[in-house]
Amino acid sequence: MIRRDLVDAMVAHARRDHPDEACGQIAGPEGSDRPERFVPMLNAERSPTFYRFDATEQLKVHREMERNDEVPVVVYHSHTATEPYPSRTDISYAQEPDAHYVLISTRDPEEHELRSYRIVDGVVTEEPVQVVESYMFAHTGVDDTPDGS
Amino acid sequence: MAITVSIPTILRTHTGGQKSVEAAGTTLAQVIDDLEANHGGLKSRLVKEGSLHRFVNVYVNDEDVRFSGGLEAAVKDGDNVTILPAVAGG
């Protein structure tokens, strides 16, 4: 589940950097699995076929997230000429077992494609994406029922 | 005083779940050998064929060691070594 404004921000970033790949993360409170704070990152490769977080910026953002008790809930990047499915390189680098890996394809100039995956130990599992206006009013299932009710 | 090494989620299986551990050494290579002695399995995740693995970023305080000597980067007591997974792909 992800807020519409965060989806719009990822897509806008992907469109802005097209034809190079765009990348970034969305931070959320540790343990919440709720993406909240949009953090676009520099693609140090500035390439249409490869991305890498700029290492210096990554450390700075990591420190901010530690101070805020946040983790990267979403790690996103774009594919600018191919479908939004993790490439072999994406899979080999995927090292955040708790993150949702979001891929955005900008191969079509009008319609973007956005999909989300878990990548754990080299195994890719697609997951449904539910876009909501606000987390406050979204139905989030029995886990949110207060104890004793 | 020792060197504090912060461990990313993906490598915490080697540190019993600890987010940071202490180590000793005067170069990054020595720190990694000391880590390996106490938390077996870490070294092969960090070093490949005598240099830092491309899947990890290692920082001494705020400095990316790729720009300060790699495994030969100098480390002293009180320093913080931060290990982060490289976030990359195609």
Predicted confidence (pLDDT) per residue in B33-72, tens digit: 999 999 999 999 999 999 999 999 999 999 999 999 999 9
Q: Pick B3-85's CATH classification: 3.40.50.970, 3.10.20.30, 3.30.465.10, 1.25.40.10.
A: 3.10.20.30
B84: nearest CA partner in chain A: A59
Q: How many CB atoms lie within 10 A of CB B10?
A: 18
Which residues fall within 8 angstroms of residue B70, CB to CB, at 6 or more apart?
A: B28, B51, B52
Q: What is the rounded distance in angstroms from the CA atom of residue A139 to the CA atom of residue A137?
A: 7
Which of B7, B56, B87 has the highest number of chain A CBs within 10 A, making it the mutation to test binding with A? B87
Query: Looking at residue A106, which CATH number applies to its domain?
Result: 3.40.140.10
Q: Are B70 and B51 in contact, with CB atoms under 8 Å apart?
A: yes
| Domain, as residue range, for A121 | 2-131
Instruction: Kindly list the residues from chain B whose CB atom is less than 8 angstroms away from the CB atom of residue A52.
Output: 86-88
- Residue in B30, B36, B11, B27 with CA at minimum distance from that of residue B72: B27
Alpha carbons A78 and A97: distance in angstroms, whole number: 20
- pLDDT tens figures, A106-144: 999 999 999 999 999 999 999 999 999 999 876 555 555
ipTM computed for the complex: 0.93
Into how many domains does chain A fold? 1
pLDDT tens, residue order, chain A (149 aa): 999 999 999 999 999 999 999 999 999 999 999 999 999 999 999 999 999 999 999 999 999 999 999 999 999 999 999 999 999 999 999 999 999 999 999 999 999 999 999 999 999 999 999 999 999 876 555 555 555 44
Backbone angles phi, psi at A121, to 5 degrees: 50, 40
Nearest to A98 among B9, B59, B90 (CB): B9
Q: How many CB pairs under 8 A join A and B?
A: 69
Residues of A in contact with B64 (CB under 8 A): 55-56, 59
